[in-house]
């Protein structure tokens, strides 16, 4: 039986180094625009190089920060800030795990914001605990903090080299290290991290949409395995580890996670999704009257499908902007009610129409099944579902809180069976070849584990 709970997103990180800037405010705007990457907790840390302070809380960025705590974080002498939005992928949800994780010591401090998931966190933690290190959270991120703390006297390059050598899995990090801003990406670059400039100041963020929000310019992506050190001397960069060549950036960033107005590795997320929709139209054409997206996730691909097929694009499902979470317990009827509260059909659009319904992915199948019911009740004659990614068959170990294989519908049923289960007239998934053509890439340049089961960076618990 497929469960109701949703797939979760991951995290957003932000960092800025500069003088005479309103760092806390810029960090706030940065994570505000990365809110889609995590809604569970948010935090900002600022430092003048010696005195580090932070504020963290549970909930949305706009709920965690207010005039009072922002005023406390707004100190004119500060030179570096990091910030984080979190959705737990490893570790519990509590405030204790909110980031940035902070460590203070005489004349300095560290604050760490991490996006990704470590696969050998349990064994690292055991070893560090045996060596006498304490852990205050149950988050895998604290392993990185403790490794850095242990080697901090050698400076950031030595400490981060130790991180790269010991830690496995996915990590994109923005960190305050005394008077420096540090950026680090895992050797395969599984999670995104980009570098920007605001006047003379350097900025790091999970996605370039955070730069747009503060008026900064995207300079480039941080390279896989690259360490970035920003301080009063400017920017210093070093590749700490070479790529395995077996994988790369999470392909789901292009499919679902990243905001359409972001650019990753020189590719516009919107344009890439539109291209996926075009490929989908080539692979699964169908005679229909309208193409309509599942808002918002299917919109860019639906535009591409409509352009390629020549079928009229129209919005047909209206999203309630104010539904963040609904407290309705599982059960098929409640499930549908929940979707209906979030997405409401325009009957005049659907009545007697043959509909192509486009979404980016099917995970458990609950959303699409409910939507088909809703659109049929609104009078649609036929519903042809088109999905702009391949069947989702394997859980993610690199930063996405995915259901177990047992709950992934495509891991357990054929496309024909899924089509029947969701009640569609036809169902087409974009093939891996089609996806690669849309991305103008090769599978080994990406992490495709959710579609292939190829866990090139290991699995959680490998070393246990």
Residue from 128, 294, 430, 447 touching ligand AMP (CB under 6 A): that is 294
Number of residues lying near ligand AMP (CB under 6 A): 18
| 248 makes contact with ligand AMP (CB under 6 A) | no
| 253 makes contact with ligand AMP (CB under 6 A) | no
* Complex with ligand AMP: residue 32 or 392, whichever CB lies closer: 392
- In which residue are the tokens 């963040």 written? 324
| 362 makes contact with ligand AMP (CB under 6 A) | yes
Q: Which residue in 203, 206, 227, 205 sits closest to 23, CA to CA?
A: 203
Q: Are strands 80-86 and 426-429 parallel, antiparallel or unpaired?
A: unpaired
**DSSP helix, strand, coil percent of the chain (3-state; round to 5):** 35, 25, 40
Sequence length of the chain is 464
CA distance between the termini of the chain: 30
| 282 makes contact with ligand AMP (CB under 6 A) | no
* Complex with ligand AMP: residue 35 or 241, whichever CB lies closer: 35
Residue from 89, 367, 394, 445 touching ligand AMP (CB under 6 A): that is 367
- In which residue are the tokens 């950036």 written? 249
Query: Alpha-carbon distance 8 to 31, whole Å?
Result: 18
Q: Which of residues 73-112 bind ligand AMP (CB under 6 A)?
A: none
To the query of whether residue 419 is one of the catalytic residues in this protein, the response is no
Based on C-alpha coordinates, what's the Rg of the chain?
A: 22
Residue from 205, 363, 424, 460 touching ligand AMP (CB under 6 A): that is 363
59 φψ region: left (φ > 0), alpha (ψ -120 to 50), beta (else): left
- In which residue are the tokens 């005394």 written? 178
Residue from 168, 364, 384, 386 touching ligand AMP (CB under 6 A): that is 364
| 6 makes contact with ligand AMP (CB under 6 A) | yes
| 115 makes contact with ligand AMP (CB under 6 A) | no
* Complex with ligand AMP: residue 15 or 298, whichever CB lies closer: 298
Q: Which residue in 425, 336, 350 sits closest to 385, CA to CA?
A: 425
Which range, of 6-14, 123-131, 174-182, 436-444, touches ligand AMP by CB under 6 A?
6-14
For 87, the token pair is 């959705």
Supply the minimum distance, in Å, between the C-beta of residue 359 and ligand AMP: 5
| 127 makes contact with ligand AMP (CB under 6 A) | no
Q: Which residues are catalytic?
A: 11
Q: Which residues bind ligand AMP (CB under 6 A)?
A: 6-9, 256, 294, 297, 359-368, 400
């Amino acid at each position: 039986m497929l469960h109701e709970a949703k797939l979760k997103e991951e995290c957003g990180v932000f960092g800025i180094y500069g003088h005479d800037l309103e760092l806390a405010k810029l960090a706030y705007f940065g994570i505000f625009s990365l809110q889609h990457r995590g809604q569970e907790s948010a935090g900002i840390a600022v430092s003048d190089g010696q005195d580090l302070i932070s504020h963290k809380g549970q909930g949305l960025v706009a709920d965690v920060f207010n005039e009072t705590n922002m005023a406390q974080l707004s100190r004119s002498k500060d030179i570096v800030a990091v910030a984080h939005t979190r959705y737990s992928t490893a570790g519990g949800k509590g405030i204790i795990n909110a980031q940035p994780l902070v460590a203070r010591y005489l004349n300095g401090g560290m604050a760490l914001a991490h996006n990704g998931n470590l696969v050998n966190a349990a064994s690292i933690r055991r070893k560090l605990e045996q060596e006498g290190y304490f852990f205050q959270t149950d988050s895998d991120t604290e392993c990185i903090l403790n490794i850095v703390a242990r080697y901090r006297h050698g400076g950031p390059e030595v400490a981060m080299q130790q991180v790269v050598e010991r830690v496995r899995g996915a990590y994109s990090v923005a960190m305050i290290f005394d008077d420096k801003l540090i950026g680090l990406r895992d050797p395969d670059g599984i999670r995104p991290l980009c570098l920007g400039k605001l006047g003379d100041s350097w900025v790091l963020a999970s996605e370039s949409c955070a730069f747009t929000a503060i008026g900064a310019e995207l300079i480039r992506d941080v390279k896989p395995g690259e360490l970035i050190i920003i301080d009063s001397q400017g920017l210093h960069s070093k590749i700490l580890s070479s790529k395995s060549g077996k994988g790369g950036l999470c392909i789901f960033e292009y499919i679902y996670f990243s905001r359409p107005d972001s650019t990753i590795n020189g590719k516009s997320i919107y344009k890439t999704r539109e291209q996926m929709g075009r490929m989908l139209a080539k692979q699964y054409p169908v005679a229909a009257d309208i193409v309509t997206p599942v808002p918002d996730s299917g919109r860019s691909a639906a535009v591409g499908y409509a352009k390629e097929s020549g079928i009229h694009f129209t919005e047909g499902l209206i999203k309630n902007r104010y539904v963040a979470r609904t407290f309705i317990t599982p059960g098929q009827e409640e499930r549908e009610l929940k979707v209906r509260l979030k997405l409401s059909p325009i009957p005049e659009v659907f009545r007697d129409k043959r509909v192509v319904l486009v979404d980016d992915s099917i995970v458990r199948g609950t959303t699409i099944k409910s939507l088909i019911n809703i659109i049929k009740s609104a009078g649609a004659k036929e519903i042809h579902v088109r999905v702009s990614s391949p069947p989702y068959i394997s859980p993610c170990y690199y930063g996405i809180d995915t259901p177990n294989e047992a709950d992934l519908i495509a891991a357990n049923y054929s496309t024909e069976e899924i089509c029947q289960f969701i009640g569609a007239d036809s169902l087409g998934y974009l093939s891996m070849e089609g996806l690669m053509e849309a991305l103008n890439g090769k599978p080994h340049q990406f992490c495709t584990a959710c579609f292939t089961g190829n866990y090139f960076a290991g699995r959680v618990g490998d070393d246990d």
